[in-house]
Structure 1
């Protein structure tokens, strides 16, 4: 959520038990405003909280020009000192998926990972390979390709909580973080910006999953949305819709306050919550959980 909307944001999220004290909100706001000014960010957001046993990780991000590919992520344990979140590596994603223990809250704490065989091809599918290949650094992508698609990657070792945190944030961004259709606008030069003309979804539009988009670089072919929409607009329909997510029923939709507020929950990443106040520009996403993927989804359907 945008830090300028934290008051109404946490008021809306409180229905599902996601709260933050006024003192904590004030500390976060003041510290992130300093980062915004020093880094010349256009906007800065509070992404969420990854809960730990001894301390929690607070995640934030901002951007200077492009609202999608220009995002820079930070983390903090005290809401005052913020550190850059490193770029996730393929091995870190594998280890993060296999790590069943909770976070400790110490960035330098190393977790031992038990041996397990997993191929690069399998892992790339799990963490959405098209997107991974696009966003990993050239040398990392080259290393990920290896000599063959089925080559085994590192199966045991240690992972620092800082690296595990980066991998978890990346995967949640890929699978869960969303926004309403029309909230972002793609300019003629390809730069993606906040859509000042966005007036919110209507009550009818809000009931359809196809009007919610993944906040990630598109993975579907460019003409996928065009073929499924009669009212296709290339300036706002350039992102993937969530109605095609598998398995079916992955998204849980709820309404509140006389159906004026819509909530969407993600079953794979429990703790993620999206909200939108219908017919207004107010919307936001927030993650508050332990950073562990829910692999019991097939049994919940």
Structure 2
């Protein structure tokens, strides 16, 4: 959710239990404005909170003028002091793939896990040996945020537009989706570089507007049924909740610009979802 409308966005998302105390809200509003100024970001989003045993991680993201450019992620333990996280890599994802359980809330905490690695010595055949590997919680935090972003960060159709030269900008003329369209999964896109759109045929792309339909639609998400759509506040608010990453809530007020998403959860994926549908 955009920090420029943080208070309103938190109120709209409060129906899912994603609220913050008044002192946390005030601290966020002040500190994120300073983050935007100091790091010279075009926009700053309050991403959400990952719940830890000792402390919680408050997450924010800085965006460049091109809205689809790689986002800079920051975390804080007190909503005042922010630290920049390194970019996510495939190597990080491989390191934390087997780490399970709750976050501790300490970036310097190290998880110990046993991995099978191929060992070899001169004149002998390669053999596998158990090796104890230590993974920092900060590495896990980076990887989990990246996974959530790629899987469930979403925007309504028309909120952004793609210029003929490639960059993606905020659509200042966007006035919200009509209620009839806001109830459809096809009206929402993943807020990341498209994956499945590149595999569509020219015939399938014939009816798409290249300036608006340049992202992957939620209606093709696998497993099917991984999103819950509900109307709240007398049909004046549309809320989408992810069943794959419990804790992710997206909201949109039809016929207004108000939209955003927030994640408040333990950072654990619901691996049993395909068996629950």
TM-score by length of 2: 0.90
In structure 1, how many angstroms separate the alpha carbons of the residues matched to 2:56 and 2:79? 10
1:1-301 matched pairs, under 5 angstroms: 1-115=1-115, 157-222=133-198, 224=200, 227-228=203-204, 231-301=207-277
CA contact (8 A) 1:95 1:113 kept: no
In structure 2, how many angstroms separate the alpha carbons of the residues matched to 1:208 and 1:80? 38
CA contact (8 A) 1:42 1:63 kept: yes
Provide the aligned length of Structure 1 versus Structure 2: 266
Once the two structures are TM-superposed, the CA of residue 71 in structure 1 deviates from its matched residue by: 1.8
Q: What secondary structure does 2:32 align onto?
A: helix
In structure 2, how many angstroms separate the alpha carbons of the residues matched to 1:205 and 1:225? 25
Q: What secondary structure does 2:252 align onto?
A: strand
Structure 2 gaps of 5+ residues are 118-127
In structure 1, how many angstroms separate the alpha carbons of the residues matched to 2:74 and 2:177? 31
The verdict on how the C-alpha distance between 1:225 and 1:249 changes in structure 2, with shifts beyond 3 A counting, is farther
Q: Which has the higher strand share?
A: 2
Structure 1 gaps of 5+ residues are 118-151
CA contact (8 A) 2:239 2:249 kept: yes
Once the two structures are TM-superposed, the CA of residue 86 in structure 1 deviates from its matched residue by: 1.2
In structure 1, how many angstroms separate the alpha carbons of the residues matched to 2:55 and 2:145? 17
CA contact (8 A) 1:222 1:238 kept: no
Once the two structures are TM-superposed, the CA of residue 191 in structure 1 deviates from its matched residue by: 1.0
Q: What secondary structure does 2:269 align onto?
A: coil
Cα RMSD for the two superposed structures: 2.1
In structure 1, how many angstroms separate the alpha carbons of the residues matched to 2:210 and 2:111? 45
CA contact (8 A) 1:200 1:279 kept: yes
In structure 1, how many angstroms separate the alpha carbons of the residues matched to 2:252 and 2:131? 42
CA contact (8 A) 1:115 1:156 kept: yes
CA contact (8 A) 2:72 2:87 kept: no
The verdict on how the C-alpha distance between 1:20 and 1:155 changes in structure 2, with shifts beyond 3 A counting, is farther
Query: Greater shift after overlay, 176-185 or 105-114?
Result: 105-114
CA contact (8 A) 1:272 1:288 kept: yes
Once the two structures are TM-superposed, the CA of residue 93 in structure 1 deviates from its matched residue by: 1.3
Q: What secondary structure does 2:140 align onto?
A: helix
1:239-268 CA deviation, whole Å, 9 max, x = no partner?
Answer: 111111111101111110111111111111
